[in-house]
A and B are shown apart, each in its own frame.
Chain A
Amino acid sequence: MQYSAFSLLKNALTGHRHWQPAWRDPQPRGHYDVVIVGGGGHGLATAYYLARNHGITNVAVIEKGYIGSGNVGRNTTIVRSNYLLPGNIPFYEWSMKLWEGLEQDINYNAMVSQRGVLNLCHSDAQRDAYARRGNAMRLHGVDAELLDREQVRKIAPYLAFHDARFPIQGGLLQRRGGTVRHDAVAWGYARAADRRGVDVIQNCEATGFRIEGGKVLGVETTRGFIGAGKVGLAVAGNTSRVAGMAGMRLPIESHVLQAFVSEGIKPLIDTVITFGAGHFYISQSDKGGLVFGGDIDGYNSYAQRGNLPTVQDVCEGGMALMPMIGRLRMLRQWGGIMDMSMDGSPIIDKTPIGGLYLNAGWCYGGFKATPASGWCFAHLIARDEPQDVAADLRLDRFATGRMIDEKGVGAQPNLH
């Protein structure tokens, strides 16, 4: 069913009794042209763009849990393309452009809200760094504005401008950035892929790969063997585990990142604000809760929950930035497992195993990349060559020295 104002009205008048499930619940078939392991945002987007852009519809997405149970439903919903380095900017900007047309494309209200992303600076050196980043963005055709303190004050007068340690000196604003309803992205892509013939198979966990003569023949799952011409991995924090089943060892560590929501309040923050002196980012959901987060906990973890010291650290960052939130109660807190690559940038590439493709290393910036990740991964799988904007996101860059290290701090699994 095509969603529209008319379909909404028709169903409203009939008591909402005739809505159909948004996607089928198919049994896995014995063989597909392409099997995508991982039914998160990236896996579903990949399946959708395989069908939409390349006409490959004999595709299954297998998901060990239910759609929306992983990181696509565990992030802080921020989208932006304010990167510095050539390997990253065109890729994330392509993602931003896809967000801008996403809802019409997949016929689903993903609540794309270009409310702006404002990065605050607290020192002269940081302002210089933001000026450089803003210039790099504009050279690549991305919007960026460097704001002074008074311009920031107009946007967010409630911030601690004269904090003794971290006075706010200005900020870098990307007006086209913003937030997107994360669950709706998963549901929208699942429905759009399903409508083009893709099988979205939930509660189906990959347990191994059948590989002969250096080529993958299919995936062993908890629901039996599924043969495949090609297999794409998009399993985020479980990448090392799943790739290990195929005998690969990767430049990735899994870490837990926590996110938080306060009780709902009246409209306060109409943009996304990041604290430049610590690590803290905050926006307000349409329900009124303040959605915020900070650093990863900092040790390897596959537990989808974090520990209290990081909760305290994140809240201290928030208090330094806007002391008024000290009056709020925290409503919910949760953790997701991040595939932290060693240079903070992702990998979309072939693997040494024929027919096996890898989409990983998203660190804690995977949500904003969802459309471009799916678009480029589908291109790679369909044509066996990288899409232009993802050509630098190679698996072998760590061996050849072509890292995309936004922070310039060398190999460590805590970048983004």
Chain B
Amino acid sequence: MRIPCPYCGERDAQEFAYLGDATLTRPDPAAPDAARAFYDYVYLRDNPAGPHGELWYHMAGCHGWLVVTRDTRTHVIQSVAEVGAR
């Protein structure tokens, strides 16, 4: 599997570290439903069979955090963007 990094070009996936689902948003800890919201955030996942937005860190390259949209059934990468750009 190769990931096309916006800065470094197409690189082997071994250069990257995987963090997981990029669609999660850290909830507000001061909100009244914070306990429930954090349970959702920490444990529950959509885990789709198909396009999956996920965070990869280019540790052996530009040290950028990327949002990679990859099909979990085929490993085909549909889009890559740096985190701040989404």
Residues of A whose CB lies within 8 Å of any CB of B are 238, 240-241, 244, 249-254, 298-303, 307, 309, 342, 398-399, 411, 413
Residue of B nearest to A240 (CB): B47
Task: Please determine whether B72 and A240 come into contact, CB atoms closer than 8 angstroms.
Answer: no
| A312 vs chain B, min Cβ distance (A) | 9
Contact status B1-A300, CB under 8 Å:
no
Within 8 Å CB of A299, what residues of B?
Answer: 18, 54, 70
A74 to B52 Cα, complex, angstroms = 25
Residue numbers in B under 8 Å from A238 (CB-CB): 49
Contacts of B70 in A (CB 8 A): 299
CA distance A240 to B18 in the complex (A): 20
Is B7 an interface residue, CB under 8 A from the partner?
no
Q: Is B63 an interface residue (CB 8 A)?
A: no
Which residues 23-61 of B sit at the A interface, judged by CB distance below 8 A?
Answer: 36, 39, 42-49, 52, 54
Task: Report the Cα distance A244→B48, complex, angstroms.
Answer: 9
Would you list 12 pairs from A and B whose C-beta atoms are within 8 A, ordered by A residue?
A240-B49, A241-B47, A249-B44, A251-B44, A251-B45, A252-B45, A253-B45, A300-B72, A303-B73, A309-B12, A399-B36, A411-B42
- B75: A residues at CB distance < 8 A: 301, 303, 307
Asked if A342 and B72 sit within 8 Å, CB to CB, the answer is no
Cβ of B6 under 8 Å from chain A: no
Contact partner of A398 (CB less than 8 A), chosen from B14, B39, B52, is B39
Does B43 lie within 8 Å of A301, measured CB to CB?
A: no
How many whole Å from B56's CB to the nearest CB in chain A?
A: 8
Instruction: Tell whether, in the assembled complex, residue B46 and residue A302 are in contact, meaning their CB atoms are under 8 Å apart.
Output: no
Is A252's CB under 8 angstroms from B73's CB?
A: no
Residues on A with C-beta less than 8 A from B39 are 398-399
Asked if B72 contacts A254 (CB within 8 A), the reply is yes
CA–CA, A355 and B48, complex, Å = 25
**Distance to closest chain B CB from A119 (angstroms):** 27
Q: Point out the residue from A249, A342, A411 that lies within 8 Å of B46, measured CB to CB.
A: A249
Residue-wise interface mask of B (58-86) relative to A, using a CB-CB cutoff of 8 A (1 in contact, 0 not): 00000000000010111100000000000
Q: Using Cβ atoms and an 8 Å threshold, which residues of chain A touch B45?
A: 240, 249-253, 413
Q: Which of B18, B48, B52 contacts A298 (CB 8 A)?
A: B18
Q: Which residues of A contact B47 (CB under 8 A)?
A: 240-241, 250, 252-254, 300
Q: Smallest CB–CB gap between B81 and chain A, Å?
A: 17
A342 and B73: CB pair below 8 A?
no
For A241, the chain B residues whose CB sits under 8 A away are 47-49
Report if B13 contacts A (CB, 8 A).
yes
With A and B bound together, what is the CA distance between A41 and B37 in angstroms?
A: 35
Question: Lowest 6 A-B CB distances belong to which pairs?
Answer: A240-B47, A251-B43, A302-B49, A398-B43, A299-B18, A309-B14
* Contact, CB under 8 Å: B14 / A302: no
A251→B43 CA distance, assembly (Å):
5
A303-B72 contact in complex given A298-B18, A309-B14, A398-B39, C-beta closer than 8 Å:
yes
Q: Which residues on the B side are within 8 Å of A250 (C-beta)?
A: 44-45, 47
Q: Which residue of A lies closest to B12 (CB)?
A: A309
Do B13 and A302 touch (CB < 8 A)?
Answer: no
Given A303-B75, A342-B43, 19 further pairs, Cβ under 8 A: A240-B48, A241-B48, A249-B44, A250-B45, A253-B21, A253-B45, A253-B47, A254-B49, A300-B21, A300-B47, A309-B12, A309-B14, A398-B39, A398-B42, A398-B43, A399-B36, A399-B43, A411-B42, A411-B43
Q: Is A302 a contact partner of B72 (Cβ separation < 8 A)?
A: yes
Interchain nearest-CB distance for B44 vs A (Å): 5
